[in-house]
Structure 1
Amino acid sequence: MRKILTAVVAVALGLGLAACGADGDRSAASGADATIDVGSLYEPQNLDNTGGGGQGVTEALNGNVYEGLFRLTDNGKVENLLASDYSVSGDGLTYTFKLRTGVTFHSGRALTAADAKYSLEKVIAPDSKSARKSSFGPISTIAAPDDSTLVVTLKSRSISFVYNLSYVWIVNPQNQSPTTTADGTGPYRLTKWQRGATLSLTRFDGYWGTKASNKEVVFHYFTDASALNNALLTNQIDLITSEQSPDALSQFTANSGYQVNDGASTTKLLLAFNDRVAPFNDVKVRKAVYSAIDRKKLLESIWGPHGKLIGSMVPPTDPWYEDLTSANPYDVDLAKRLLAEAGHAGGFAFTLDTPNYDPHPTVATFLKSELAKVGITVNINVISADEWYTKVFQKHDFAATLQEHVNDRDVVWYGNPDFYWGYDNPQVTQWVTQAEQAATADQQTALLKQVNQRIAQDAASVWLYLYPQIVVASTSVSGYPVNGLNSQFYVYGITKREG
């Protein structure tokens, strides 16, 4: 259950096999009739992005099967999609959206504003598990006065409102089984989901926009990075959406039959404290832990030359990024002094709840070794992803944990004292609120830079590193996204040449 996170990083030994062309088990078709075989470690938990479908459902269905009023492009821009136009009232509280005409669901029913209303209400419903649910807190009312008009009234300004709408899928209310079936408006329709193996998409001939460049896309799911890489090397798949085996990269970079793309990641690996409880309610203790960890050594041990150190929750692709890596430097002597000042000269012990999929156990062992140098004893408690969601995210029953956060623009969660890590700084909460209600992007950026600086000063969490985003593909395919912001992976532009 990968709700907020990216999952599975496995270190594997590749087999170094050269390859070109397709084997006998795959279609030899190319061009518009091609089948594109995509390899991934992220199978959906289910097919509902408000029902805990995880990052896998976003990767496979977002923008491919389901569409929003707006689309977040691979370079981070927001574009109109099912909304042909929109206007905002002078006070910034009322948004009026005009829907495109001639749009139908895959089942054949015409899209109406009532469907858009239903879809947005589904995201903010009490039982919704959408990661962006809280972002829509300013909504007051949603109305569909006619089939082509959606009107949303807010209680307060929300400068990110249109951006946040790019996360909302427009779904058919008549689909009674959204966790196992799909009925969207996108360039593909879901044709088959074989759990534990494949998910197949076929070009939707009734699509309102530009038709997909290929006839079919099949996502092949693997639980092991070594098997995934071997599938690419032996031509069972055409590309890997996100390479998670750094040791295997050399077999692709050294082979002219493959292209290794190092894109812009938004996935942060965190050592997240429960800032509500001792000793992590003390900023000096948090900063001591931060300075005791050689994060550069950790990143290089996992990813070699790939990835990036960051000093806050903000990746370089966010408008309010600043390099804050020096705010909490690696300095063992400083860590010891801070512990002494906090009354822990002899150190202390804590339990680190660690998800059971890689790289978490490896990272936990590294942290245990690093913190032992300053007298801190780490007891590693390995738990499943489901246990993490219940124990840590829902019940806040933990002292510290490891976790990835995949979304961009998610520094705002530090303005929510009820979020699982419990960071509670009234000034930060005020800045986050003011930033969302800002009249201009410049004002929003200035305020969120202040948030970045303060959470770094407070060592609200330890931001261990920013994952790389590495797409590895056969040179026979092109037109695939390379950045994968927020786990999305648009496949409709992928083409394949013969041979």
Structure 2
Amino acid sequence: MTGTIIGFGKTAGQARRARGATLAAATLALALSTSTAVFAEDAKFDPNASITIGSLYEPQNLDNTAGAGQGINEAFNGNVYEALFTLTDAGDVQPGLVAAQSVSEDGLTYTFKLRPGVAFHSGDPLTAADVKYSIERVTVEHSKSSRKKSLSTISAIETPDDQTVVVKLSARSISLPYNLSYVWIVNDAAKDLNASEDGTGPYRLDEWRRGSSLALTRNDKYWGTAPTNGEVVFQYFTDATALNNALLTGAVDIITSVQSPDSIAQFKDNPDFTVTAGQSTTKELLAFNDRVAPFDNVKVRKAIARAIDDKKLLTSIWGEYGTLIGSFVPPTDPWYVDLTAVDAYDVESAKALLKEAGFADGFTFKLDTPNYDPHPIVAQFIQSELAKVNIKVEINVITANEWYTKVYKAHDFQATLQEHVNHRDIVFYGNPDFYWGYNNPKVVDLIKASESAANTDEQTAKLKEANTIIAEDAASNWLYLYPQIVVSSSAVTGYPVNGLNSQFFAFGIKKSEQ
């Protein structure tokens, strides 16, 4: 028996880029905001404007089931591809391509009715078969999607007609709508999704110049509200200083997330720019390979955590910005617990733990370090701190592509630095096959049980318990929570300001007429 159904309610792009490059920024008042988006309703805007977004995160490919990295979420999530449900910039789950849903009384069957009249960029209509195909791309054995484990309770997907999808579960999954917000709906006839796309979103891919830029042009046949601009170009940089200079010179309109804190003052005190502080879910992480010695020893992991002065690190990089965290869970998650006192900075205690673990004279390990800011700086800081307890750190600088292949896929590492951007991603510690190899059966059971919870209070209690155990195990070393600072030309408004999952919705961005 089912419950009540709930209703929810030179290409042209290249020419626009050329015109947009000649526009000078308008001078508006400086604003510092903590809202979810910046708006200037009274200003007239150009509905065909080209918006250039500066970013440090170029995708490795265009398929988020193939380990494309956070850059593809930034550019494509909600812009090119849509999901059954949408995770808003404020962190709320709202209907996307779903018009209505019903849930059986036992919580094991979800029935989704699709929005009518939705078409892919190729012109093909959206059908239930496309939804089934898209979900199975994530859950299939060879999928590299980080959400594969979260959707493992799906036992079958049925498509009784073109507008109806029935998802059957082997166990209750209270987070199913949330988890489905990560599943891009793609045309089941699409080919080579590593280098092309066929989504339903408000933009279509115009051009991807690897190593340089990715251009999206407005989808004039979009089923929903039309974008407030004509084109968006993500311009990629490997150096934060170069990115800041691009904004200063007008080469880009927006920086999605400032990575060079020393530069903020030059924008904050300049009326030609807007500096906006939002909420972040991005954690800077020293991840151990918990499968291999010496990091399979909890005392070694705890010793390293105590030997690193996280507060000094955060201040040295971000000054007054950013937040200390004692676990993988940021304050915006419902199951946050303040665990900053667990394995707090204490060099003498670190030395004692190393002695107990059999490493009184220290040891040497290799730290695989992504080559973009702030990771090299963080690596050098860790190297200096751990030298005080006789641990030698060999810094191995690698590219994002190398990190994905060596660390994420092959698990061929001792320790690594990485920023993890996802919202509610404590579930990764319940997956022993995840790249860091943490495996505590009690945590696995708690995270699994939290999904079968009858209500959110029960879910929250179980995840708080799991979070505390993970911290006590020093499964990783959570160095700090990034600040989320977006800087733009004062001529543009309407952009998202929270760093949720690294997504950057472009469809509401407006550029004032010149």
Q: Taking structure 2 as the reference length, what is the TM-score of the superposition?
A: 0.89
Alpha-carbon deviation of 1:110? 1.4
SS state of the match for residue 284, structure 2? strand
Query: Relative to structure 1, is the Cα distance of residues 387 and 494 closer, same or farther in structure 2, using a 3 angstrom cutoff?
Result: closer
Aligned to 1:263: 278
Aligned to 1:236: 251
Aligned to 1:276: 291
1:199 equivalenced with 2:214 (yes/no) = yes
1:473 equivalenced with 2:471 (yes/no) = no
CA distance in 2, matches of 1:362, 1:193: 30
SS state of the match for residue 306, structure 1? coil
1:386 equivalenced with 2:384 (yes/no) = no
SS state of the match for residue 33, structure 1? coil
Say which is worse superposed, 348-357 or 231-240, in terms of deviation: 348-357
CA contact (8 A) 2:493 2:510 kept: yes
Instruction: State the one-letter code of the partner of 1:495.
Output: K
Aligned to 2:91: 76
Within the candidate set 122, 125, 132, 1:117 is matched to 132
Instruction: State the one-letter code of the partner of 1:294.
Output: D
Aligned to 1:357: 372
Offset from partner CA, 1:97-143 (integer Å, 9 cap, x none):
00001111122221111111111111222332222122111111111
Within the candidate set 215, 222, 234, 2:237 is matched to 222
Q: What root-mean-square deviation, in Å, do the aligned CA atoms of Structure 1 and Structure 2 show?
A: 2.0
Aligned to 1:286: 301
Alpha-carbon deviation of 1:33? 2.5
Say which is worse superposed, 48-57 or 72-81, in terms of deviation: 48-57
CA distance in 1, matches of 2:231, 2:292: 51
Within the candidate set 372, 375, 383, 2:387 is matched to 372
CA contact (8 A) 1:415 1:428 kept: yes
CA distance in 1, matches of 2:489, 2:24: 14
Aligned to 2:312: 297
Instruction: State the one-letter code of the partner of 1:212.
Output: P
CA distance in 2, matches of 1:414, 1:46: 26
CA contact (8 A) 1:117 1:144 kept: yes
Instruction: State the one-letter code of the partner of 1:383.
Output: I
Alpha-carbon deviation of 1:474? 1.3
Offset from partner CA, 1:358-380 (integer Å, 9 cap, x none):
32222222112111112222232
Within the candidate set 439, 446, 449, 2:454 is matched to 439
Query: Relative to structure 1, is the Cα distance of residues 352 and 236 closer, same or farther in structure 2, using a 3 angstrom cutoff?
Result: closer
Within the candidate set 18, 22, 25, 1:24 is matched to 22
Within the candidate set 44, 66, 90, 2:105 is matched to 90
CA distance in 2, matches of 1:389, 1:194: 20
1:307 equivalenced with 2:322 (yes/no) = yes
Structure 2 portions without partners, runs of 5+: 1-19, 27-43
1:410 equivalenced with 2:425 (yes/no) = yes
Instruction: State the one-letter code of the partner of 1:300.
Output: T
CA distance in 1, matches of 2:198, 2:408: 30
Alpha-carbon deviation of 1:168? 0.8
CA distance in 2, matches of 1:80, 1:384: 37
Aligned to 2:186: 171
SS state of the match for residue 211, structure 1? coil
Alpha-carbon deviation of 1:311? 0.2
CA distance in 2, matches of 1:283, 1:160: 31
Instruction: State the one-letter code of the partner of 2:236.
Output: Y
CA contact (8 A) 2:60 2:401 kept: no
Within the candidate set 331, 336, 343, 2:351 is matched to 336
Say which is worse superposed, 193-202 or 305-314, in terms of deviation: 193-202
Aligned to 1:63: 78
Instruction: State the one-letter code of the partner of 1:298.
Output: L
1:47 equivalenced with 2:34 (yes/no) = no
Say which is worse superposed, 464-473 or 275-284, in terms of deviation: 275-284
CA contact (8 A) 1:27 1:35 kept: no
Aligned to 1:134: 149
Alpha-carbon deviation of 1:426? 1.4
Aligned to 2:51: 36
SS state of the match for residue 118, structure 1? helix
Q: Taking structure 1 as the reference length, what is the TM-score of the superposition?
A: 0.92
CA distance in 1, matches of 2:77, 2:497: 16
Query: Relative to structure 1, is the Cα distance of residues 76 and 361 closer, same or farther in structure 2, using a 3 angstrom cutoff?
Result: same
CA distance in 1, matches of 2:408, 2:252: 35
Instruction: State the one-letter code of the partner of 2:86.
Output: R
Say which is worse superposed, 124-133 or 76-85, in terms of deviation: 124-133
Identity %: 65
CA distance in 2, matches of 1:196, 1:394: 22
CA contact (8 A) 1:27 1:34 kept: no
1:147 equivalenced with 2:162 (yes/no) = yes
Offset from partner CA, 1:335-371 (integer Å, 9 cap, x none):
1222223233332332223233332222222112111
Instruction: State the one-letter code of the partner of 1:408.
Output: H
Alpha-carbon deviation of 1:26? 7.4
CA distance in 2, matches of 1:202, 1:382: 35
Alpha-carbon deviation of 1:201? 2.0
Instruction: State the one-letter code of the partner of 2:448.
Output: T
Offset from partner CA, 1:79-112 (integer Å, 9 cap, x none):
0010011111111111100000111112222111
Instruction: State the one-letter code of the partner of 1:24.
Output: T
CA distance in 2, matches of 1:153, 1:316: 33
CA contact (8 A) 2:291 2:437 kept: yes
Alpha-carbon deviation of 1:68? 0.6
1:426 equivalenced with 2:441 (yes/no) = yes
Alignment size in residue pairs: 479
Instruction: State the one-letter code of the partner of 2:174.
Output: I
Query: Relative to structure 1, is the Cα distance of residues 144 and 439 closer, same or farther in structure 2, using a 3 angstrom cutoff?
Result: same
SS state of the match for residue 341, structure 2? helix
Offset from partner CA, 1:400-454 (integer Å, 9 cap, x none):
2222211111111212222222222111111111111111111111111001111
